Structure 1
Amino acid sequence: MSSIAKRLASQTAVYGISSIVGRVLTYLLVPVYTGRFAAAEYGIVTALYACVSFLNVLFTYGLETTFFRFASRPGTDRQLLYSRVLSLLIVSSIVFSGLLAWQAGALLRLLKLPSGQERYAVWLALILGLDAVAAIPFARLRLENKAQKFAAIRMANIVLNVALNLFFIIVCPDIMAGEYLTVLQPLIARIYDPSIGVGYVFLSNLAASAFTLLLLARELAAFRFNIDVASIRPMLVYAYPIMLMGLAGMVNETLDRILLPAWLPEGFYPGKSSETVAGIYGACYKLSIFMSLVIQAFRYSAEPFFFSQSTEKNSPATFALVLKWFTLCCAFIFVFISVNLEDFAKHFLRSAEYREGIAVVPVLLLANLFLGVYWNLSVWFKLTDKTYYGTYIGGPAPYSPSC
């Protein structure tokens, strides 16, 4: 393995360790959810978080990759570019979050979820807005090869999210039920509302997203609001095909969880409602998370790496070597999890009701492996400023712009 590829591997390891540890902590919530919530309740979480994954692409609309590409061009004032991209995201995030909160009821009806839970969609709108604003400061850390700080902030976000989930979903109900620490009941009664129930999953995420912006204070302090109309068009021309490609990817990755409760005929699975089936599928989907972790960690380090290596003479050979080792690692994960699937399911899916759907896990693992290979191969049109090819692959393109 070349020294350049080894450097990429070491950076991927930093991102990967933080992602794996963080996701393992998050994954520990699956037994909590499946033990404390009925499958129908967990189906609400599954459907709305599927929308979050989809809407994240719209909220950032390809500006992370655009930031990397424009920052790699000779003579670029990176500080000015950073301020302009972040200014654009702040404005758009306010608009998008406001629209989503305004149409909270329509979103629930579209997903055929129970009415009266519009506050969940409002909280999701705020989460999406905060995460979109944080995306460019995180991209700047990646561009500057500050993998350790990036990983530390991500970990802090996840730890806080997990801690709040455990507090509101386990500790507070148990104290109010008199199982332990009954002396704290008056205090808990002030901060805990049992009627929120599964909504604490979203509130915990919201608090963690807000805390993340506080941890990015130094990066945000370097920001100066700057909207330059002349610079926006070339950035959007480069970014919009990436956004469409991202949407196509999210359609493949998350649309199943959105459409399952909406399209599944009532009674298709005897004795189970569509929400219950969605909850079972969503819990089983979590077992494919290990493949996603590797791909996510690789993308964090690979995107700035690819752009920095694009002008090197031997870059095609380097990219081919990267793809080979990436595919080998992912193939090993696929085989390992598939062979030990029953053991994984027994530990993470506590209720037998949820383990009925584990047959889908190898299919999801293999799909994620193919997605990672595609992501590697798609780097060429990003490096050559021909991002409209991403639109051709993901869907029809009206024209082929040049940047």
Structure 2
Amino acid sequence: MSVFKSLFKQTFIYGLATVLPRMLSFLLVPLYTTKGVLSSVAEYGQVSVIFSYFVLFNVILAYGMETAFFRFFNKEDKKENVIGTSAISIVASSIGFFVLALIFQYHIASFIQIDVKYINLVIWILLFDALVIIPFAWLRATERPMRYAIIKILNVAINLGLNLFFLLALKELAQDENLFETIYKPNFEISYIFIANLIASACTLLLVLSFYTKIKYKFDKQLWKRMFRYAFPVLVAGVAFSINETFDRILLDRLLPPDIAETEIGMYSACYKIALFMTLFATAYRLGIEPFFFSHSKTENPRQNYAKILEFFVAFGAIILLGVVVFADILKPFIVRSEAYWEAMWIVPIILLANFCLGIYHNLSVWYKITDRTRFGAYISIVGAIVTLVINILFIEAYSYKASAIATLIAYSIMVLLSYYFGRKYYPIPYNLKKIGLYLVLSIALSGLSFYRFRGDYITGISMLIVFLIVVYLSEKKQINQLLKK
């Protein structure tokens, strides 16, 4: 029992530390979209584009080495070699990137059409974020969840606090030419956002810097080759996933007319955040249940449990989908403060459903994790990325961010179907497709009716939600009663 207690405790702490950074972007949306904080919707669009590049380059600079570290730290007898080799690898590649990026910063700025002063800040942030990858992995591998969580939470607190301080308290000061250099003009608010991020990243690095003073710097070339071979598919899958998640903003910036691109991206990105309710649920659920997948893989009949887990996930996810859609117009003033962004509310049900599909995909992915066929994860992610790119490139010019939202939904839906198809072949799990299908079809149909036909009619919307809750309760009555008794 103590083993399971420890497992639950660590899962909860790591889950909290992982979900909170995602919450940061959610918490900052009301600040950024408040009238007068950023000078225009286009400014928020520009910030969103830059953060899209962040996601991509964070994956590239990690190049799967964190995952490889976990694998080889638990596998190898000489753990010091694993620590030293992975640390040297990340430090060398990060410094190499940093030097090259600084040398070519003006070329990069010209190519991606972002002001060089922002590029300079981004380069430093990427360096600091890369240098904490192995220290954080070491904290997790040596089972130090509290320190890991505290540092992660401090990063979020510093970033959030500085954003509030810079964008509210110092906003008027920044307009005084005598107090601030011209380098932070125009659009000094954008610089503030990245300066806050830079300080938070620097503080995080300082808190884990002792790791680099304690380790033995021994580089094992053969070990590094094995680690990199293991890490490369993770890198490929990570790049593909980042394309699915954020590359649509970059394509919108490239393919839409320059005079409207950033405004369209700003509206799209702000309303996209309303779907974060589903993302947070799916992330927390995955972090909590993933250890269960592995710990129960050797039990007598794990597949029945895996099937029930997906059923519960779909039931809860369907309730969140319908609930957020019904109350979307009530929620939006609290999350997206300015009416200038609300034009893109059309995408909210689409993105909610897309993230729901992504959560289902993560649940279905148990088969290739259990059977050590993780390459299929990379293949499926690549297919999703190709679908995302093709639909965006073909339809952005005609349909703008609506094409991007639909592309995300189609990509994640295809990934669900592919994972289910190959899962039946390599590790069949007896999913209750009738019940899962009922929840999905009913919640999607009711969500579509509520938002696109009866939007603003809360009597009808709430009635739909109550009907769906009754259906779920009747279907899961036995399990719900058992949980309530416990």
1:237 corresponds, among 229, 235, 239, to 229
1:257–1:278 CA contact under 8 A, matched in 2: yes
Instruction: In structure 1, give the amino acid aligned to 2:109.
Output: L
Partner of residue 146, structure 2: 148
The answer on 1:47 being equivalent to 2:46 is: no
Unpaired stretches in structure 1, ≥5 consecutive residues: 179-184, 267-271, 397-403
Distance change (3 Å), C-alpha of 1:91 and 1:281: same
Partner of residue 120, structure 1: 118
Distance change (3 Å), C-alpha of 1:167 and 1:191: farther
3-state secondary structure, aligned to 2:77: coil
3-state secondary structure, aligned to 2:172: helix
Distance change (3 Å), C-alpha of 1:95 and 1:326: farther
Partner of residue 69, structure 2: 67
RMSD of the alignment, in Å? 3.3
Partner of residue 163, structure 2: 165
1:285-328 CA-to-partner distances (Å, cap 9, x unmatched) read 2222233334444555666x379638734584465555454444
2:17–2:153 CA contact under 8 A, matched in 1: yes
1:260-291 CA-to-partner distances (Å, cap 9, x unmatched) read 1211246xxxxx61111111111112222233
Distance change (3 Å), C-alpha of 1:299 and 1:209: farther
1:39–1:280 CA contact under 8 A, matched in 2: yes
3-state secondary structure, aligned to 1:334: helix
How does 1:180-191 map onto structure 2 within 5 Å? none
Q: Matched residues in 2 for 1:72 and 1:298: separation? A: 25
1:132 corresponds, among 130, 133, 143, to 130
1:211-244 CA-to-partner distances (Å, cap 9, x unmatched) read 1112224444443323211111111111111111
Q: Matched residues in 1 for 2:73 and 2:309: separation? A: 23
Partner of residue 441, structure 2: none
Partner of residue 312, structure 1: 298
Unpaired stretches in structure 2, ≥5 consecutive residues: 384-486
Distance change (3 Å), C-alpha of 1:66 and 1:316: farther
**Shift in Å at residue 40 of structure 1?**
1.5
Distance change (3 Å), C-alpha of 1:247 and 1:23: closer
Matched pairs, number: 378
Q: Indicate the larger mover: 314-323 or 208-217.
A: 314-323
Q: Indicate the larger mover: 122-131 or 247-256.
A: 122-131
Identity of aligned residues (%): 35
Partner of residue 254, structure 1: 246
Distance change (3 Å), C-alpha of 1:25 and 1:7: same
3-state secondary structure, aligned to 1:173: coil
Distance change (3 Å), C-alpha of 1:383 and 1:23: closer
TM-score normalised per structure 1: 0.81
Instruction: In structure 2, give the amino acid aligned to 1:51.
Output: Y
Higher RCO, 1 vs 2 (CA within 8 Å, ≥6 residues apart): 1
Q: Matched residues in 2 for 1:4 and 1:361: separation? A: 41
Q: Matched residues in 1 for 2:256 and 2:322: separation? A: 31
**Shift in Å at residue 336 of structure 1?**
2.7
Partner of residue 182, structure 1: none
**Shift in Å at residue 332 of structure 1?**
3.5
3-state secondary structure, aligned to 2:162: helix
The answer on 1:336 being equivalent to 2:323 is: yes
Distance change (3 Å), C-alpha of 1:286 and 1:107: farther
1:8–1:302 CA contact under 8 A, matched in 2: no
Partner of residue 269, structure 1: none
Q: Matched residues in 2 for 1:171 and 1:58: separation? A: 36
2:81–2:220 CA contact under 8 A, matched in 1: no
Q: Indicate the larger mover: 324-333 or 334-343.
A: 324-333
Q: Matched residues in 2 for 1:31 and 1:200: separation? A: 16
Q: Matched residues in 1 for 2:341 and 2:318: separation? A: 26
**Shift in Å at residue 79 of structure 1?**
3.6
Instruction: In structure 1, give the amino acid aligned to 2:163.
Output: N
1:198-218 CA-to-partner distances (Å, cap 9, x unmatched) read 111111111111111122244
The answer on 1:368 being equivalent to 2:346 is: no
Q: Matched residues in 2 for 1:57 and 1:43: separation? A: 22
Distance change (3 Å), C-alpha of 1:367 and 1:353: same
Distance change (3 Å), C-alpha of 1:17 and 1:374: same
1:283–1:354 CA contact under 8 A, matched in 2: yes
1:291 corresponds, among 260, 269, 278, to 278
Instruction: In structure 2, give the amino acid aligned to 1:125.
Output: I
1:111–1:261 CA contact under 8 A, matched in 2: no
TM-score normalised per structure 2: 0.68
Distance change (3 Å), C-alpha of 1:143 and 1:320: farther
The answer on 1:81 being equivalent to 2:79 is: no
The answer on 1:58 being equivalent to 2:60 is: yes
Partner of residue 399, structure 1: none
1:381–1:387 CA contact under 8 A, matched in 2: yes
1:15–1:297 CA contact under 8 A, matched in 2: no
Distance change (3 Å), C-alpha of 1:112 and 1:21: closer
Q: Matched residues in 2 for 1:190 and 1:107: separation? A: 23
Instruction: In structure 2, give the amino acid aligned to 1:86.
Output: A
Instruction: In structure 1, give the amino acid aligned to 2:58.
Output: N
Partner of residue 264, structure 1: 256
**Shift in Å at residue 60 of structure 1?**
0.6
**Shift in Å at residue 168 of structure 1?**
1.6
How does 1:341-356 map onto structure 2 within 5 Å? 341-356=328-343
1:54-111 CA-to-partner distances (Å, cap 9, x unmatched) read 11111111112222222333x5333431222122111111122333333333443443
Partner of residue 274, structure 1: 261
Kindly indicate which of the two structures has a greater share of residues assigned to helix.
Answer: 2
1:17-40 CA-to-partner distances (Å, cap 9, x unmatched) read 455555555533223222311111
**Shift in Å at residue 356 of structure 1?**
1.0
Distance change (3 Å), C-alpha of 1:13 and 1:310: closer
Distance change (3 Å), C-alpha of 1:176 and 1:152: same
Partner of residue 201, structure 1: 193
